[in-house]
Chain A
Amino acid sequence: MKKAIGLALAVLATTVVAASAQGSPKVVQVATAGVNCKSTITLPLVTPVTGGAGFLGAEQGSWAKYAVKTLAPKLGLKVKFVLGDTPVEQGASVAQTIAQKYVGDKSVLAILGPSTSGAVAASSATYGQAKIAHISPSATRTDLTQGTAKEATSAFFRVVPGDYIQGPTDASYMVKTLHVKKVVLLDFQEPYSVGLSDAVEAALKKAGVSTSRLSAPNTTTDYSAYVTKVPSDADIVFFPTQKPGDAQTFAQQLIEQGKKAKVFGGDGSDGPGEFKAAGSYVSNFAPDITGIKADAAIVAGWKKDNPGKTVGSFGPPSYGAAQVAMEAIKLACTQGHGTATRQTVLRNIKKVKINNWILGGQFRWSTKTNDPLNAKFYIFQIQSDGSYKLVG
């Protein structure tokens, strides 16, 4: 009996300790703790640095780092840029671990990312509780910012439009331009691809297109059996992977099995060095910024820092997210007379307006949601030399 009581007390004590560690007082303390704006502020980018989507972290990291290097001195800030790795293969738990690490770091006033929708859904509550603004350059799942059951907190922002635009844009292009009759959609059992496939499928069905759905684990490397299930009269396979090399494999295996369907990838499939199957399509939230005159100096500077690298579509929004974060920190510093808190930074995010936005035009936030105003998706077709041509 004594043992049982002892055990019960031990469990109770453990629960109390655990609950107090989880509870908010300490978090609130950090959220309201002021950071001297002359001290070094840490700005992390949470993105997949390793794993099959490691290219994403490499590209986003190089652009965010360049933004910190060039913009922070102009704003009178000392910013240390760091990377937090969330490999897509390891699921949501990694994002949560990283969130706890940054919440505990007092020099962190805002976060860039998480880059993937799954990582945002897994960690937004932790950032939200700590009043840390987290600004994603690439998470597009609609439910993160919209709808009745939002998956992210009000501290989450994204500088690119979501699947609520990408889904209908892609579907509309398939229906109106490609005149499709039958489409196969494949998801990868994680929030990004499931959400985007849902959005595209709904729009296609509304337009009377015949659809069927396949689902592959995120660790799949060989798609032969999935290709076997693609009907020979299917026009398009919608393939919203976060690993462009897999889109290339799928396109090759379609040809191998004599299927006429073309691959249509989402923004996660955009990777000119890896996905280069001629005739395939990808959609993305960013245009090719090398064609924007106002960005010439930025592109040149980035290329100087990253010799031999090509400008992709994922990098520039990361530059934009870093710019928004640092502008908000600057506003908070001004309001706080040289001191900024996580709360004041968070309050200032939506006050940021950028006239020469890296993706072209002006950047402003929507008044209704934490999404950008008037942003759109672009559709590219892959040419025989592997280049991406803007077609929609």
Chain B
Amino acid sequence: MDTFIQLTVDGLTIGSVYALIALGYTLVYGVLKLLNFAHGDVFMVGTFIGFGMLQLLGGTSHPVVPVWLLLTLMVAAGMAGCAALGVAIERFAYRPLRDAPRIAPLISALGVSFFLANSMQLLFGAQPRNYDIFTLDNASLYTKGIDIGNVHIALLRVITIVSALVLMILLWFLVNRTRTGKAMRATSYDREAASMMGINIDRVIVFTFVLGSALAGAGGVLQSLRVPTTVAIGFVTGLKGFTAAVIGGIGSIPGAMAGGLLLGFAESYAQGYISTKWSDLIVFSILIAFMIFRPQGLLGRADIRKV
């Protein structure tokens, strides 16, 4: 039972980060029908912004602000920085290609991905960056937390899971309960018709990139609180986020959340109960199974075509 609880917590922690990334993929796809393959690298940039903010605030050994404020500012900086980056990417890499054949922005996305990874390496080097949260406040984020039976759930995990859930709820509220969200949904449904109804499409698309990239930035900082980051981290994590978006049903916001969590649980249980050696195989087999048996994903809509 202890193992099950521990694996569930592990899956929830990593799954919530996957969900945040998957939301970025799904938001952009929903509005633009574009697979933004640079999204994983936006996540990576977020991890570095968080690290930079941490250093600015004195690092983990001598923080100049309380721990809660330090973490909040790091996540906020990651979100703001990535949102700005998302706007720049949309303006320079995707907007000029908005009416081009669909392959053009896809290639542009891959180009942006390489550009970000390589320019970050040029600027900051290849060595990993460790937030070193363990040394913060005498490792209190590791030693404090919730105990369920023999299982200790560190405060750091609780913070990661709760923060991700709060962000997801806020996003759901924004998309479903605000005028901007309504405009996003209208643009997603029919861009031309939305434009004719007076919706500023450019603004909606930019806002979508702001949202998606900010979530990636938050995910980047939250993940890097526990594991080191490198300029190469965007590819694999982005791939997992994309897988989660596809499993959930790309274009569906609840689907991206569900897909991320499902992927996290699958990874964790596969490592815990089946084989640590074959966990990636199992995870990507799930993707293949979805592509074959339910291509629209968990909560996506089947694409009906008139003939």
| Interface residues of A, Cβ cutoff 8 Å to B | 49-52, 54-55, 57-58, 87, 89, 189, 214-217, 219, 221-222, 224-226, 228-229, 243, 245-246, 248-249, 252-253, 255-258, 274
Residues of chain A within 8 A of B142, CB atoms compared? 252, 255-256
Contact among B3, B126, B150, B277 for A55, CB-based, below 8 A: B126
Contact among B152, B228, B268 for A274, CB-based, below 8 A: B228
Residues of chain B within 8 A of A54, CB atoms compared? 125-128, 230
From B7-15, B168-176, B247-255, the one touching the partner chain is B7-15
Return A226 CB to nearest CB of chain B, in Å: 6
Q: Is B64 an interface residue (CB 8 A)?
A: no
If the complex has contacts A249-B226, A255-B139, are A228 and B3 also in contact, measured as CB distance less than 8 A? yes
Residues of chain A within 8 A of B14, CB atoms compared? 222, 224
| Interface residues of B, Cβ cutoff 8 Å to A | 3, 6-7, 9-11, 13-14, 121, 125-128, 130, 134, 139, 142, 150-152, 154, 156, 223, 226-228, 230-233, 235-237, 267-268, 271-272, 275-277, 279-280
The answer to whether A226 touches B276, judged by C-beta atoms less than 8 angstroms apart, is yes
* Chain A residue at minimal CB-CB distance from B11: A225
Residues of chain A within 8 A of B9, CB atoms compared? 224
Report the separation of the CA atoms of residues A258 and B150 in the bound assembly, to the nearest whole angstrom: 9
Residues of chain A within 8 A of B152, CB atoms compared? 256-258
The answer to whether B7 touches A225, judged by C-beta atoms less than 8 angstroms apart, is yes
Q: What are the 10 A-B residue pairs with the smallest beta carbon separation, nearest first? A: A54-B126, A225-B271, A245-B228, A215-B277, A224-B10, A245-B128, A50-B126, A221-B227, A228-B6, A55-B127
Contact among A189, A224, A228, A245 for B277, CB-based, below 8 A: A189
If the complex has contacts A54-B230, A226-B276, are A219 and B236 also in contact, measured as CB distance less than 8 A? yes
Contact among A50, A55, A228, A257 for B121, CB-based, below 8 A: A50
The answer to whether A49 touches B126, judged by C-beta atoms less than 8 angstroms apart, is yes
Return B258 CB to nearest CB of chain A, in Å: 20
If the complex has contacts A222-B226, A225-B7, A245-B228, are A214 and B128 also in contact, measured as CB distance less than 8 A? no
* Chain A residue at minimal CB-CB distance from B128: A245
The answer to whether A217 touches B279, judged by C-beta atoms less than 8 angstroms apart, is yes
Residues of chain B within 8 A of A245, CB atoms compared? 128, 130, 228
Residues of chain A within 8 A of B150, CB atoms compared? 258
